[in-house]
Amino acid sequence: MVENRILIVEDNPAISELLEMNFSVAGYRTDHCPDGEEALALLAEDGEFDLALVDIMLPGKDGFALLPFFKERGIPVIFLTAKDDVMSKVRGLKGGAEDYIVKPFEVLELLVRVEKVLGRTGRLQKILTVRDVEIFQESRTVMRGGEEIRLKPLEYDLLVLLARNKNVTFSRERLLREVWGDLYIGETRTVDVHIGQLRKKLGVPGLIQTIPKIGYRLEERG
C-alpha cells in the first residue's frame, strides 16, 4: 500500500511536530522543512508529494513566494497560517492555493480538508487497506479474504471516511455532515444504524470502535 505523502513547510518546530504526529497517526507519510529555501531544495531533489501544507510567514522565502514552485510540479498547496486578514486569504487563494486554514486549527478539520483536497485533485490512494479489508476506490468495491463485501453507497462512504482517517475519532454529527452532507437533516441514530450494518457486513471484530459519548473510530491495530 502506498501512503499519501505530505510536505509540511513550517518554521515553528512545535507546530510541525504536532502536524507530523497527526498525519502519521492518520496514515500519511510526512516530510518537514523549517523554511522556504530548504523546501525548494527538497522539491528539486524529490518532488513526489501529494500535498504541501505551507505556512505563509517563513524565514527566507515566504509562503506566497513558494506557491509557484509547487504549482509547477502540480502539488496542491494548503496554506496553514496565523494571518487571518482577508487580503492574505484572497492573495493565497487567488494565487492558486487549494485551501487556506487559519491557526489555531482543529486537527480533525485539518485532516478532513486535506482529504478533500486530495480527492479533488485525484491524488487519493486508489486502494485502502485496513487489516485484511481492501477498499478499491475506483470500482467502489470492498474485498475481504478474496470475497467481495456488498455495501450500500452510504455504508461504503462511511467506511472510506473512517479508513482514510485511521485512529481518528469522529463524532456522530461530524459523520452525518461528511457522509450525508450539510443539507441532510436527520438524527444521529441514523449513523448508529449504518455503523451497525457496516460492522455486521465486514465481520472484523474491534475494527470500528465505539468511543463513549463521542462517536466512532476505525482502529488499524487490533
Binding positions for other proteins, rule: CB under 8 A: 12-15, 17-19, 21-22, 25-26, 59-60, 82, 103-108, 167-169, 209, 214, 217, 219
The CB-of-171 to other proteins minimum distance in angstroms stands at: 9
Q: How far apart are CA 164 and CA 160, in angstroms?
A: 6
Between residues 54 and 151, which has the closer beta carbon with respect to other proteins?
Answer: 54
Per-residue DSSP letter, 2? P
Between residues 112 and 151, which has the closer beta carbon with respect to other proteins?
Answer: 112
Between residues 4 and 149, which has the closer beta carbon with respect to other proteins?
Answer: 4
Residue written as grid cell 462512504: 157
Between residues 107 and 124, which has the closer beta carbon with respect to other proteins?
Answer: 107
The CB-of-107 to other proteins minimum distance in angstroms stands at: 5
Q: How far apart are CA 130 and CA 166, in angstroms?
A: 9
Contacts of residue 167, defined as CB under 8 A and 6 or more positions apart, other chains included, come to 25, 26, 27, 217, 218, 219, 220
The CB-of-136 to other proteins minimum distance in angstroms stands at: 25
Q: What is the CA radius of gyration of the chain?
A: 19
The CB-of-96 to other proteins minimum distance in angstroms stands at: 25
Position 23, amino acid:
F
The CB-of-103 to other proteins minimum distance in angstroms stands at: 4
Are 111 and 51 contacting, i.e. CB atoms less than 8 angstroms apart?
no
Between residues 13 and 203, which has the closer beta carbon with respect to other proteins?
Answer: 13
Give, in degrees to the nearest 5, the angle at Cα 193 between 191 and 197.
115
Between residues 103 and 140, which has the closer beta carbon with respect to other proteins?
Answer: 103
Q: How far apart are CA 218 and CA 1, in angstroms?
A: 18
- Grid coordinates in use for 179? 457522509
Between residues 41 and 140, which has the closer beta carbon with respect to other proteins?
Answer: 41
The CB-of-148 to other proteins minimum distance in angstroms stands at: 28
The CB-of-168 to other proteins minimum distance in angstroms stands at: 5
Angle between helices 189-202 and 153-164 (to 10 degrees): 80
DSSP string, 110-137: HHHHHHHHHHHTT-S-SEEEETTEEEET
